Amino acid sequence: MLQFVQQLVNGLSIGSIYALMAVGYSLVYSIMNFSNFAHGSVIMLGAYFGFFAMRLLGLPFAVAVLVAAAGTALVAVVLERLAYKPLRDRKAPFLYFIITAMGASIFIDNFVIATIGPTPKMYPDVFGQGPIILGDIAIGRVDLAMFAISAVCLAALIVFIDHTRLGKAIQATAYNMKASALMGINPSFVIILVFAIGGALAGIAGVLYGMKYQVFPQIGAITLKSFIAAVFGGLGSLPGALLGALLLGLIETFVSGYLSTQYRDLIAFIILIAMLVVRPSGIMGKSSEDKA
Amino acid sequence: MSPENSQAGSGGAQPILELKGLTKRFGGLTAVNEVSFTVTEGGISGLIGPNGAGKTTVFNLITGVYRVSSGDILFRGRSIANQEPFRIADAGVTRTFQNIRLFKNLSVLDNVLTACHTSARYGLFEAFFRLPIFAREEKALREKAMELLGIMGLAERADIISNNLPYGLQRRLEITRALALDPKLLLLDEPAAGMNPDETIQLMNLIAEIRRKFKLSVLVIEHHMDLIMGICEHIHVLNFGCTLADGQPELVANDPKVVEAYLGAEETE
Amino acid sequence: MEYILGIFELSAINLVAVLGLSILTGFTGLFSFGHAGFMAIGAYLSAILTKNFHLPFVVGILAAGLAAGLVSLLLGRLTLKLKGDYFCIATMGFGEAVRLVFSNWTYVNGARGMASIPKYDDLSLAIPFVTALVAVVVSWNLVNSRQGRNMVAVREEELAAQMAGIDVLRSKMTALVVSAILAGIAGALMANFIGFIAPKTFNMTKSTELTIIVIFGGLGSISGSVVGAFILTALPEVFRAFSDWRLVFYGLAVIVIMVGRPQGLLGGMELTPSGFRKSMAARRARAEFARLKAEGGGAA
């Protein structure tokens, strides 16, 4: 029982990071209908932005998170304007978007390797050493921070999407870009907005993930998990991405706790395949017929 | 609901296509509701109605792009409802699109050649190693494609990338591509869209000619009433997914319900 | 001399895998992040067969192609029916999963990799070249057959392809299986050429590098892939000093190509007399079309 609760806590903590990544990715997908496979590189940049903000500029943690979020939001928007927009303008096929995203990802990752170098870097200690003991359960300080910050960000996002005019504009555009454009919603603005939000969430996720482990150029590879989480929950559905990410985090932690750590990463892939076979539209996705 | 003079003019001719209570629902929206009509073998029928009446949806149901919610589609007496689109095409139902869908970056010849593929009888293995049957069949395919292009007046443009063709010829190429499958029934979705009156008349003659030459039945969606009245022997009118009228052109054109639907539609535009 | 030969050997090996991706991405319009996984399957299988069972190289190559092809058949069945993004994510997951399996498999020495795999000697050094040559001929024949035209139709306009009687799923499956077989064979060639393989050789960067070569050479051009494979394998060897910046340049170039010249070096054009004639005819047609338009829209 004790081990169960312990695993539950760990699972929610890692799941919340996956959620932060998956929600941003899914948000962009819901508007653009394409997977921004450069999302992982933006997360990696976030981890470095946060690291340099604290180590070089000596900023406090909270400010560093904001700096990282602003930096990655900017990167995501620049990427959108320079790489994706020209393709959109000439109605390029889906394939070109995927290839461009791949190119962007390779460029960013290797630019960091070439300039900063591959050596892993450690964040300064912010939350203090030693776990927090609650009864018989030990919670890592960083894990708790991860969960708390992710929860706040996700709650803020949900409030924003559901209860503000801008959020409703995003929803309308996701539902039907042409119709919402006729209603006076500027699609170009909405696209920039979702890239900025997705980028900011990616930056925060990068800082948290870099704190838990280390900062290194390949750190963005973790985003594969968030892609899987998004498919698990239903591509393009925000609640789906959230649920999928938490479930994936929990399943992974339980598998490594009760079976073996070696299988932890493999289980994500097995879930992906199982999901594609049983219910390709995901938990919350709607299996819709596109009107041609 | 069933219109008075439904099968009146068809006489003894065999139906090639029969829609029976065809219905399509998207979520809560019923796009096509209990639509029934027939296209007779060798005939030209028209499918008309205001924008959003569900005409293209009917085409998408016939060709298997959408799944049928209820009802049935019979082609030469056999149900083709919910079959894979390529099987329906192979069975002899081909179509063109309202917004032309060519293989844009391919040459005119390759567009037609691609659609001829079902008449080639060589497998992957023969293709990999260029066995003799490959050369024989490819030669026959090319001849067939060039012959078709000749009939359609596109032969001297065979090497042009189809995207670079003038608009009217793109429509013509799309029809040629549909003919390459040796169809029995040709579905044309607004073939005269964007054409001037001269071109429309040319197109009318072309449709009549290919029907004769290829022994085709034709079902055409059109907004140009002159085109519909000029060539169709039978007309089915849709409004909000439901049948509004069905019968010979003159009868339908004077039907007060049809007149009202069209006038009503114009007012809101 | 040996050094130059080595570069050519590597180019030929890369070419075999690149041809597969050329068919998959360039001709059929599918994108894979996981073909290094198929290479890994081929490489490990050939390594095991030639090292542990002392079987001849050719057996390793054939088994590698067969195994990769069978696995791709399974992957395709599960994922090809779904929208493009699902396929991409599934290939990404597949590639990583294959790498993880080999990293944790003690029989093949896990993450440390397999060493002292039998290497090609002077005579069998011809194997990669012969294989590459066969691969070029077979790929060329495929894309110029009705099956190849069907793949291009699927890439260009899936709905119209269906309406033209093309079994879209089958075309995609053919492209995937052929590309996986070629990737598996390339993996086998690599294992027996270098004599050492490790799971990290077959990471996602390897997959994307192969696709980058296809994009450089031009989507939809077999000769472009051939030229691309030789240039992009040789260049990094020549410019060793800039090796850190190589991938930076690649990534940037991919974006520039997609935004500015999506056809790549030779997109849609082949370096053969008839291919040249065709592209000249197309150029004339474009010029004439532009002239007609300029003269006042007589063409519309």
Which sequence spans correspond to the domains of chain B?
A: 1-92+184-269, 102-182
- Sign, CA torsion C84/C87/C89/C91: negative
What pLDDT does residue A77 have? 96
CATH topology of domain B1-92+184-269: Rossmann fold (3.40.50)
C88 touches chain A (CB under 8 A): yes
- Verify that C275 and C177 share a domain, yes or no: no
C84 touches chain A (CB under 8 A): yes
pLDDT band at A21 (very low <50, low <70, confident <90, very high): very high
Helix (H, G, I), strand (E, B) or coil at B195: coil
Within 272-291 of A, beta carbons closer than 8 Å to B belong to 289, 291
- Verify that C187 and C280 share a domain, yes or no: no
Summarize the confidence of residues A92-111 as an average pLDDT.
Answer: 91
What pLDDT does residue B264 have? 58
What pLDDT does residue B6 have? 42
B60 touches chain A (CB under 8 A): yes
- Verify that C49 and C190 share a domain, yes or no: yes
- Rounded to two decimals, the pTM is 0.89
What φ, ψ does residue C31 adopt, rounded to 5°? -120, 130
- Verify that C176 and C274 share a domain, yes or no: no
When divided into structural domains, chain C yields a total of 2
Q: Which residues of chain B fall below pLDDT 70?
A: 1-12, 263-269
* Whether residue A129 has pLDDT greater than 50: yes
B155 touches chain C (CB under 8 A): no
Separation in Å, CA of A111 to nearest CA in chain C: 5
- Verify that C100 and C188 share a domain, yes or no: yes
Q: Which amino acid is at A138?
A: A
Which among C278, C274, C271, C175 is positioned nearest to C224, based on CA atoms? C271
Q: Which residues of chain C fall below pLDDT 50?
A: 297-300
CB A243 within 8 A of CB A233: yes
- Verify that C29 and C108 share a domain, yes or no: yes
- Verify that C221 and C275 share a domain, yes or no: no
Q: Which amino acid is at C144?
A: N
What φ, ψ does residue B122 adopt, rounded to 5°? -135, 150
Separation in Å, CA of C169 to nearest CA in chain B: 10
What pLDDT does residue B3 have? 43
Domain with residue C254: its CATH number is 1.10.3470
Distance CA C56, CA A248 (A): 44
Share of chain B above pLDDT 70, in %: 93
- Domain extent, residue C57, equals 2-265
More confident position, C131 or A126:
C131
- Verify that C93 and C31 share a domain, yes or no: yes
- Verify that C51 and C198 share a domain, yes or no: yes
CB A282 within 8 A of CB A26: no
Distance CA C44, CA C221 (A): 30
CB A160 within 8 A of CB A166: yes
Between strands B242-247 and B15-26, the pairing is unpaired
> Residues of A with CB below 8 A from B66's CB?
289, 292
* Whether residue A290 has pLDDT greater than 60: no
> Residues of C with CB below 8 A from B64's CB?
162
- Verify that C192 and C167 share a domain, yes or no: yes
- Verify that C147 and C228 share a domain, yes or no: yes
What pLDDT does residue C30 have? 94
Distance CA B1, CA B242 (A): 9
